[in-house]
Structure 1
Amino acid sequence: MATVAPEKTSNTNELLENIKAEIEAKHVELLHLQFVDIEGSLKQVTVTAEQLDDVVEGETMFDGSSITGFTPINQSDLYLLPDLNSFAVLPWTEEEDYSEARFLCSVTNPDGSLFEGDPRNVLKKTVDNAEEKGFSINVGPELEFFLFEQDEKGQPTQEVHDQAGYFEPAPYDLGERVRLEIYKTLKKMGFTIEASHHEVAKGQHEINFKFDDALTTADNATTFKWVVKTVAQQFGLRATFMPKPVFGENGNGMHVNMSLFDEKAGKNAFFDESDSRQLSDQAYQFIAGLLNHVPGFAAFTNPLVNSYKRLVPGYEAPCYIAWSSSNRSALVRIPATRGAGTRVEIRCPDPSANPYYAFASIAAAGIDGIEKGLEAPEETVDDIFSMSDEERDERKIDNLPTTLGESIEALTNGEIGKKVLGEFAFNEYVDLKQEEWDSYRTAVTGWELDRYQAKF
């Protein structure tokens, strides 16, 4: 499911003819034109297949003032420009003489220019900046999710779908059939699925799809979450990518594997067989950039109040800013594969993140480390979770932000967020997150009432 830039390319006519043939062959009647708001929530405008030519020309208009973080009411007209390579017939709609399809779209202004508040355009700008420096960005995320039972009204309960543990098979793993249907659906939509299994927590699952360029992967992550939720609903279940839905259990992570391809040298920029770890100077500099900037982009990779209830000791999620070639208690890890597969894994992101912002900020932070020639600190080989505060201080291992409030402060004081998003999108995002944090910190919770109301 390769993705091209939204502007027309030399193969547009061939792509369009193939799409028209598939629309005719599968009796597609409705086209869903999809995009995301600044939180990464999927939105869509639905038109009839007869309007395909107008759709391809980017003539579908919508009210941008009704989308979180987009335009004010007096400048509300925006347009959708589809990525032709994102076309997919939706398997769950297919009948003998009827089906529906979708396009992922970039958002444009009335004059045809790319709308700066569109997260897809934000990531595209980061990809373009990397290409100017001679790099292409490859990304492979690992998204975890829970399956919950629903009540008689179709609302999610707190009862997980099964009691299985890590890698357990059926009959303990009751989600196996759900994952199989998700796999089949994604495959029909062009995904290459590499692995599927039950995760550590009860009711928790993971399905991994093949890495690709950054923009394609962000599109795929967005599609993946939509498909998982849709298929789960067909089984009477509710899927959630909420970071920490169950107290006392592991939360949902989205480990992000990233590598840079050196276009001039024609090879993976992170691999150097002469190094003791077979890592290049650029790999170490990229790691240093991540460690240096992670407090300032955590509000993108871990965007919710709930995100910071996952980033606590004892549940495998990283809490401390360190790196290692193997140690999974570190924030940044280097998986064992070398050669073309050499990559850096950052383990703090969670799947509630807007993937376009998350991938853009991670890539920009790492590339900044390369540009500035930053030096990575000493590798941490020991279990960081078992260290005392004094030991971590001695080794100069800092904490990740512990609340959304801390992350917002680091975001506003840092340089990566403004550089990646641009002033308009950055201000909208900060305002949204500050409102969320203020709402949370001023709320009176059930925990407080249970603990204090009768006592005081």
Structure 2
Amino acid sequence: MHFQDVDQLTSFLDEESIRFHKVGVFDMDGVFRGKYMDRDKFESSLRKGFGFCDVVLGWDSNDQLFDNTEVSGWHTGYRDAPVSLDLSTVRKIPFEDDTILVIAQFDGDYEAVCPRRLLGRSIAKAKSMGFGVRAALEYEFFMFKETPESARAKGYRDLEPLTPGMFGYSMLRSGVHAELYHELLESMELLECPIEGLHTETGPGVIEAALRHDEALAAADKGALFKTFTKILAQRMGLMATFMSKWSNEYPGQSGHIHISLEDHETKHNVFYAGDDPDGLSQTMRWFMGGQVTLLPELLPMICSTVNAYRRLVPGMWAPTHANWGIENRTTAMRAIPGGPNSTRSECRVGPADANPYLALGAALASGLWGIENKVEPPPVIVGSAYANPSDAGVPLPGTLGEATRKFSASKVARELFGDAFVDHFAATRDWEDRLARKHVTDWDLARYFEII
């Protein structure tokens, strides 16, 4: 739904007898934090904005307060941060009658660390260079015959997947569970997050959804809402969906691939396509890929932002381990897809399903634009398996969140692209995440060392 102004929206609310109004912001981890508002408060917020407790920028995904940030903390008194509602994000919620949803973003002093605002600044940069940005996200997620209560009671062990075995692209599985697939397809269409392709992946209960491409900010909104409402829909059906990068030692991790194309702002032609090039790739695209590959080791925490994300980056698990690129090569970190004049694009394959869509897409876009500005030639293209010859595979990616965060914090280019306020705040939140993990004694530790060492 698209509204020109607040008056047009309020007329729509009356015409559709909308009784419930939900608003929310996405935090540093991409978690949707929000509330219901009554009609008067909602209208006032549309016109003047409102205050949202800055604690949502000062705690982690488990509501534990950071002890190392300046943006939010006891020293700020957890005051209200100014936020504004984006009229372009209004949509009905399919399984909540007479209810609409609107996405908000942080303003004022908090704008510099707002994930959605960060992506907006990268898009504005592209526009100043004469480009429009189109993007699409695709996600793998596992479905379980569990509830939040049963999963906790089991200590997240011995969980029962929706389906058994390794059965990618299974018409059998999707036919048996057609009601789930249909509900997901229909609900996301109504939520204005249309799914272009939906199929089983390799693993018990794993599904992959490719979302329809759109302008970059709308694509990120769709990705963030898709993950949130897929989990809601699953739990309403007595199931659980997880987007964590790697939930099992036995199965491949879950990806969140990022597709980007640039178009001429005036002609709308895809500037990545070149009909006279043997591979169909323009020089502009090669510079874009050069920037992405060059900066990936420095910007990795914006894409792989959890401790668990690095469990996925191991050889042979369909996830890259080095900063490199290939043409139609699914073993590389960056994949150039020669799709002709309409769909030639870059695919960032290092992305996990648990990434914050705004930050991951923002990093992938900003690094590519940096490559164009600086005419960065990409390294030699990888042909065949990127795992076959590690010495020729490119720069190794950081192997842990802690290592990646230190590299990110020290990156001059990251600070040029995103500003000191964001880099300092986000690095502090990732350092917190890493410290929590290092305090924890795992099952692997116990099995490895308890008796033998």
Could you tell me the TM-score, scaled by structure 2's length? 0.90
Separation in structure 2 between the aligned mates of residue 47 and residue 166 of structure 1, nearest angstrom? 43
Separation in structure 2 between the aligned mates of residue 16 and residue 91 of structure 1, nearest angstrom? 24
Q: Is the 8 A contact 2:33 2:56 kept in 1?
A: no
Secondary structure at the aligned position of 1:142 is classed as strand
Amino acid at match of 2:161: V
What does residue 439 of structure 2 align with? 442
Deviates more, 1:74-83 or 1:342-351: 74-83
Separation in structure 2 between the aligned mates of residue 297 and residue 174 of structure 1, nearest angstrom? 42
Q: Is the 8 A contact 2:174 2:200 kept in 1?
A: no
C-alpha deviation, 1:254, in angstroms: 0.8
What does residue 120 of structure 2 align with? 124
What does residue 392 of structure 1 align with? 390
Q: Is the 8 A contact 1:241 1:252 kept in 2?
A: yes
C-alpha deviation, 1:211, in angstroms: 0.8
C-alpha deviation, 1:274, in angstroms: 0.8
Separation in structure 1 between the aligned mates of residue 107 and residue 409 of structure 2, nearest angstrom? 27
What does residue 100 of structure 1 align with? 99
Deviations 1:162-217 (A, max 9, x none): 12510112357655432321211111122332111111121111122211111111
Amino acid at match of 2:79: S
Amino acid at match of 1:43: R
Secondary structure at the aligned position of 2:21 is classed as strand
Q: 1:403 to 1:349 in 2, by over 3 A?
A: same
Q: How does 1:224-303 map to 2 (within 5 A)?
A: 224-264=226-266, 266-303=268-305
Q: Is the 8 A contact 1:179 1:207 kept in 2?
A: no
Q: How does 1:311-350 map to 2 (within 5 A)?
A: 311-350=313-352
Q: CA RMSD in A?
A: 2.1
Q: Is the 8 A contact 1:178 1:231 kept in 2?
A: no
Deviations 1:397-420 (A, max 9, x none): 232221112211221222343234
What does residue 138 of structure 2 align with? 142
What does residue 64 of structure 2 align with? none
Deviates more, 1:235-244 or 1:325-334: 325-334
Separation in structure 2 between the aligned mates of residue 412 and residue 175 of structure 1, nearest angstrom? 46
C-alpha deviation, 1:93, in angstroms: 1.2
Q: Is the 8 A contact 2:147 2:239 kept in 1?
A: no
Q: How does 1:26-37 map to 2 (within 5 A)?
A: 26-37=16-27
What does residue 66 of structure 2 align with? none
What does residue 82 of structure 1 align with? 85
Deviates more, 1:139-148 or 1:187-196: 187-196
C-alpha deviation, 1:364, in angstroms: 0.9
Separation in structure 2 between the aligned mates of residue 378 and residue 353 of structure 1, nearest angstrom? 28
Runs of 5+ consecutive residues of structure 2 not aligned to the other structure? 60-70
C-alpha deviation, 1:363, in angstroms: 0.8
Separation in structure 2 between the aligned mates of residue 250 and residue 326 of structure 1, nearest angstrom? 20
Secondary structure at the aligned position of 1:93 is classed as coil
- Which of 349, 357, 360 in structure 1 is aligned with 2:359? 357
Q: Is the 8 A contact 1:297 1:361 kept in 2?
A: yes
Q: Is the 8 A contact 1:311 1:402 kept in 2?
A: yes
What does residue 6 of structure 1 align with? none
C-alpha deviation, 1:21, in angstroms: 4.1
Runs of 5+ consecutive residues of structure 1 not aligned to the other structure? 3-10
Deviates more, 1:275-284 or 1:173-182: 173-182
Separation in structure 2 between the aligned mates of residue 396 and residue 352 of structure 1, nearest angstrom? 25
Separation in structure 2 between the aligned mates of residue 227 and residue 431 of structure 1, nearest angstrom? 29
Secondary structure at the aligned position of 2:246 is classed as coil
Amino acid at match of 1:124: G
Separation in structure 1 between the aligned mates of residue 211 and residue 262 of structure 2, nearest angstrom? 19
Deviations 1:64-95 (A, max 9, x none): 1354365342472223311112111211112x
- Which of 205, 208, 229 in structure 2 is aligned with 1:206? 208
Q: 1:345 to 1:27 in 2, by over 3 A?
A: same
What does residue 7 of structure 1 align with? none
Q: Is the 8 A contact 2:84 2:104 kept in 1?
A: yes
Separation in structure 2 between the aligned mates of residue 71 and residue 201 of structure 1, nearest angstrom? 41
Q: Is the 8 A contact 1:297 1:416 kept in 2?
A: no
Deviates more, 1:269-278 or 1:45-54: 45-54
Deviations 1:280-326 (A, max 9, x none): 11111111111100011110111111111111112211222221112
What does residue 58 of structure 2 align with? 68
Deviations 1:9-68 (A, max 9, x none): xx633x642x33442344322211111111111111321124342021133222213543
- Confirm whether residue 163 of structure 1 aligns to residue 164 of structure 2: yes
Separation in structure 1 between the aligned mates of residue 148 and residue 216 of structure 2, nearest angstrom? 41
Percent pairwise identity: 24
Secondary structure at the aligned position of 2:429 is classed as helix
C-alpha deviation, 1:344, in angstroms: 0.8
